[in-house]
Amino acid sequence: MRALRDPLAATAGQRSIAMHIFLLALAFLLSLAVTTPTLAEQTSLPRIAAIIPSSGAHERALREELQERGYVDGRNVRLDFRLYRTYDEAVQRQAKELVASKPDVIVAYGTPAARALLDATSTIPIVFAVGDPVASGLVSNLVRPGKNATGMSVMALDLAPKAIEVLLQIAPEARKIVAIRNRANPIGVQMVEAAQAAGRGVGIQIEPVDVRSVSDLEAAVPAIRRSRADAIFIHADLSFQSDRQRVVRAILATGLPAVFQDHVFTEAGGLMSYGHNNREATRIVVSYVDRILKGAKPGELPVEQATKVRLVINMKAAKELGINIPQALLLRADEVIQ
């Protein structure tokens, strides 16, 4: 005869299996609770906002440097980046929107972006990366900036005469240099003035050409050709970076040797650049963001000055323009692009 199953034993076995499944499910849910922030936790995470160029380079560098400091979007911080292509009313709108959202700190790349934020708030900490914050009126002095902003200065006005000096090494016979600037950016105007002062010291005429967009620059190419200029100095400000290939093509179309102030333009095909190291600037910016989130007051943090300058030369562009780069300048370069 077939043995009868004990109903009590069967029930106990089922209870044991059910309990085992319950414990496994509970352990899984507890692990999720530990590794995944709740909605309330996510809402209370510190918020870092930013107004940066839409080129992509600054956004990548900013995210990477933040991660190096342990700040990961969605895990222990919330990031809100606003991108701009030109300095227009959109930057003003972005600044007002970010201020209204009440982040813990706001990063600004470029003098117009920093100015728009300072006009929109006197309380939210701002960390900027700009040309010359004192000359632009963003802070009263570098040692104790006061108010709610600090950051780093690339000291662009000091670099302008040196960029002209480098340009003259590949165009020693130059007597007239076109200086391209964006009048919407105060530091661009000041840099051209600094370049003009340097030019007067060596008997060189530096003639400004005002453009507000890449389209303006492209439209100016025929006039630059007719101007009988010997070379170009271009303050290719941050608003031009998203269209840097178009900027480079326009400058190459003039047939003249040119020096940019940001290496991203040389990497995009321009002849030469002499300016600060973007990665160093981002590293300084993030260090200030970190200190502010830990309780420091921006007005008490001295503005740091960039110390690393990069000379980058693009040999392909030199060949296209029929220019021989002096060996001494090649040896001086931080990077030579073949």
Q: What is the pLDDT of residue 228?
A: 93
Residue 267 belongs to some domain of the structure: yes
3-state SS assignment for residue 332:
helix
Residue 213 belongs to some domain of the structure: yes
Residue 23 belongs to some domain of the structure: no
Residue 324 and residue 318 in contact, taking contact as beta carbons nearer than 8 Å = yes
Tell me the CATH number at 325: 3.40.50.2300
- Residues 184, 325, single domain; the answer is yes
Average pLDDT value for residue range 151-159 = 80
- Residues 167, 136, single domain; the answer is no
- Residues 143, 68, single domain; the answer is yes
- Residues 94, 239, single domain; the answer is no
* 309 has pLDDT over 90: no
Average pLDDT value for residue range 193-209 = 92
Tens-digit pLDDT profile for residues 259-282: 998 888 999 999 999 988 878 889
Residue 1 belongs to some domain of the structure: no
Tens-digit pLDDT profile for residues 130-142: 988 988 899 989 9
The residues, any chain, with a CB within 8 Å of residue 38's CB and separated by 6 or more, are none
Q: Domain total for the chain?
A: 2
Domain residues for the domain of 227 are 156-276+309-337
Average pLDDT value for residue range 61-68 = 94
Tens-digit pLDDT profile for residues 34-64: 444 444 444 589 999 999 987 777 888 999 9
* 1 has pLDDT over 60: no
β 78-84/105-109 pair status: unpaired
- Residues 327, 210, single domain; the answer is yes
Residue 13 belongs to some domain of the structure: no
- Residues 284, 216, single domain; the answer is no
Residue 11 belongs to some domain of the structure: no
CA atoms within 13 A on the CB side of 154: 29
Average model confidence (pLDDT) across the chain: 86
- Residues 161, 252, single domain; the answer is yes
Residue 223 belongs to some domain of the structure: yes
- Residues 131, 245, single domain; the answer is no
Residue 32 belongs to some domain of the structure: no
- Residues 207, 296, single domain; the answer is no
The residues, any chain, with a CB within 8 Å of residue 241's CB and separated by 6 or more, are 53, 54, 55, 57, 58, 262, 264, 265
Q: How confident is the model at residue 290 (pLDDT cuts 50, 70, 90)?
A: very high
Q: How confident is the model at residue 14 (pLDDT cuts 50, 70, 90)?
A: low
Q: Which two tokens stand for residue 191?
A: 């840099």
- Residues 295, 318, single domain; the answer is no
Q: What is the pLDDT of residue 275?
A: 87
Tracing tokens 């010291």 back to the chain, one arrives at: 201
- Residues 316, 178, single domain; the answer is yes
* 180 has pLDDT over 80: yes
DSSP annotation of 139? -
- Residues 257, 283, single domain; the answer is no
